[in-house]
Structure 1
Amino acid sequence: MNTIMRKSVLGIAGLAFAGGVIGGPVAAHAATPAVDAKPVAVVQADKPAVDKGKLMPNGTHGTQSRINLDDEQTANVKAIIAATKKSDMNERAAVISIATSLQESKLHNLGHLGDANDHDSLGLFQQRPTSGWGTPEQITDPQYSTTAFLKGLKQVDGWQDMPLTDAAQTVQVSAYPDAYAQWEQQAADLVAQYWNS
């Protein structure tokens, strides 16, 4: 009787094992959702980074200032960068331009401010029609005013390697020649953020 019982138990165990081997993978496969095996293209979302060493070759000078930008100011940053590229000038020129505009107008395209106006200064760079920068309409056009500033910058020997405040002052001839330096870090950050956008 032991032998018969033993054969019966082994037979049942064998059937269970065979059923698991046969039924197991089928059941597992049936429970797994179908996967679409089409090839997937890898898309590189990152744009090339700006060489930050070129943005501030001399580092910053003095205490740095920073302001939060609204949509208008951000649009003016992008306009300055576009004009810089169109003028075939590099990222350093954009840093100098944006820092200059941060100092002169906080990146606002200013019209005539009445009694608060500094003479007849207008626009992003506070350029003056009476000093030959252009008409009021031209000076308040971000593309034109940036191009006019860059034309002046191109005439400064060694502007690429000189401290930002010296390059900006040579073009602008401001009563506060050292004031441009405080905006260099924010200007460089903005160029790094928007140059390739």
Structure 2
Amino acid sequence: MKSALVVGGLVVVATVAVAGVTAVTQVVSQDQAADQARAMSMDCNATLGPITAGPAGSGAADAARLNDDQRGNVALIISIGKDRQLPPLAWQVAIQAGMTESGLRNLDHGDRDSEGMFQMRPSMGWGTPDQVRDPHYAINKFYDVLGRLPNWEQQRPGESAQDVERSAFPDRYHKWEAMAAHLIGNVGLVPDPTGCGQGTGLLVPAPTQAAGHAIEWALGQQGKPYVWGAGTNQQSSFDCSSLMLQAYRDAGVTLPRVSRQQFRAGAMLPVTEAQPGDLLFWAYDTSNPDTIHHVAMYLGDGKIVEAQQTGVPVHIRPVRWGEAELMDQAVRPGV
């Protein structure tokens, strides 16, 4: 059967021979909107995520669990950010840091002498104990340090939070990305905090032409065996992440080696809005990206291509939103 897949500004034509379970994908055209979205990607935060309530992964559910005190601290973070004329991305960095460090609570205790919403340590020069427990002082101090970081506006908000906090667990700030983005729109009343266009779908740049190339390459590996830890300098066998790495490498996009790292290697979006070329992930605990154990490439039309497990060659299979262990977020490499 033949199906035409619209990938943002790309029209991808996929021909699938059902009997042979093979597919050939060709990128036919790319419109000006996709070019414009990529051109502006350095001026907006492509990974901010959706800012409206809606599909799983939007952050609305996590935001709804905050109590009045926590939401009051979110409002203060946003209010001070506005007063300082800082962009919404700065508010998001502070919200993610505060949620990770203290659950957005003004604590009078913590690890060693850490205190306050951001668990600042007086012994490390963050201020006196009374100061770091003062939310107004702590938020302004956080923004002071953030503003001195080089290129903080060009990286993912969780990475900037880590650069301020210098935690021994750097990946944990990403967990609250979708929730913080939702709060910026819901509490901050900012309809377009990224400057990338209004509406959930436009906040993530359209798939690049590399996505079509990566799909074509991955589909060309069907039937090859699964081998855990397969080398990435050969194409005779694959595991899940080596297939993704090599498919995108052939398209000119560099991905890390393992699936947990690949989850951090692109723009995030709700999995229900995945488009062809986006990566889908499975985890033992879908609230903890550190437990990710599998990655596959979405083809559109409810199908993925994957190197699944020992004894099962590279193949296409159907995927269902909400199936067991499927993460709520998809990742778009190369944007």
TM-score range, shorter chain: 0.5 to 0.7
Q: How many residues align?
A: 139
Q: Does 1:143 align with 2:143?
A: no
Paired position in structure 2 for 1:118: 111
Q: Does 1:78 align with 2:75?
A: yes
1:183 alignment partner AA: W
Q: Which has the higher contact order (CA 8 A, sep 6+)?
A: 1
Q: CA deviation at 1:196?
A: 3.4
Q: TM-score, normalised by structure 2?
A: 0.39
Paired position in structure 1 for 2:90: 93
Structure ID, larger Rg: 1
Q: CA deviation at 1:165?
A: 2.0
Alignment deviations for residues 39-84 of structure 1 (CA, whole Å, 9 cap, x no partner): xxxxxxxxxxxxxx98852256xx9983611111011101111111
Alignment deviations for residues 66-118 of structure 1 (CA, whole Å, 9 cap, x no partner): 36111110111011111111222111100110011010011111012xxxx30
In 2, Cα distance between the equivalents of 1:185 and 1:179? 13
Paired position in structure 2 for 1:39: none
Please list, as runs of the form range in 1=range in 2, the aligned pairs for 1:31-180 lying within 5 A after superposition: 56-59=45-48, 66=62, 68-112=65-109, 117-180=110-173
> Residues 87 and 103 (structure 1 numbering): CA distance in 2 closer, same or farther, change over 3 Å?
same
Q: Percent identity?
A: 35
Off by >6 Å, runs of 4+ in structure 1: none
2:106 alignment partner AA: N
> Residues 108 and 178 (structure 1 numbering): CA distance in 2 closer, same or farther, change over 3 Å?
same
Contact 1:105 1:123 in 2 (8 A): yes
Q: CA deviation at 1:161?
A: 1.6
Alignment deviations for residues 135-194 of structure 1 (CA, whole Å, 9 cap, x no partner): 111111111101111111111111112012221111111011111011010011111111
Paired position in structure 1 for 2:265: none
Contact 2:45 2:154 in 1 (8 A): no
In 2, Cα distance between the equivalents of 1:176 and 1:97? 17
Contact 1:73 1:108 in 2 (8 A): yes
> Residues 75 and 55 (structure 1 numbering): CA distance in 2 closer, same or farther, change over 3 Å?
farther
Paired position in structure 1 for 2:5: none
SS of match in other structure, 2:130: helix
> Residues 85 and 178 (structure 1 numbering): CA distance in 2 closer, same or farther, change over 3 Å?
same
Higher strand share: 2
Q: Does 1:183 align with 2:150?
A: no
SS of match in other structure, 1:195: coil
In 1, Cα distance between the equivalents of 2:134 and 2:85? 19
> Residues 172 and 78 (structure 1 numbering): CA distance in 2 closer, same or farther, change over 3 Å?
same
Paired position in structure 2 for 1:41: none
In 1, Cα distance between the equivalents of 2:152 and 2:77? 18
SS of match in other structure, 2:136: helix
Contact 2:58 2:178 in 1 (8 A): yes
SS of match in other structure, 1:189: helix
Which consecutive residues of structure 2, in runs of 5 or more, have no partner in the other structure?
Answer: 1-40, 50-56, 191-335
Higher helix share: 1
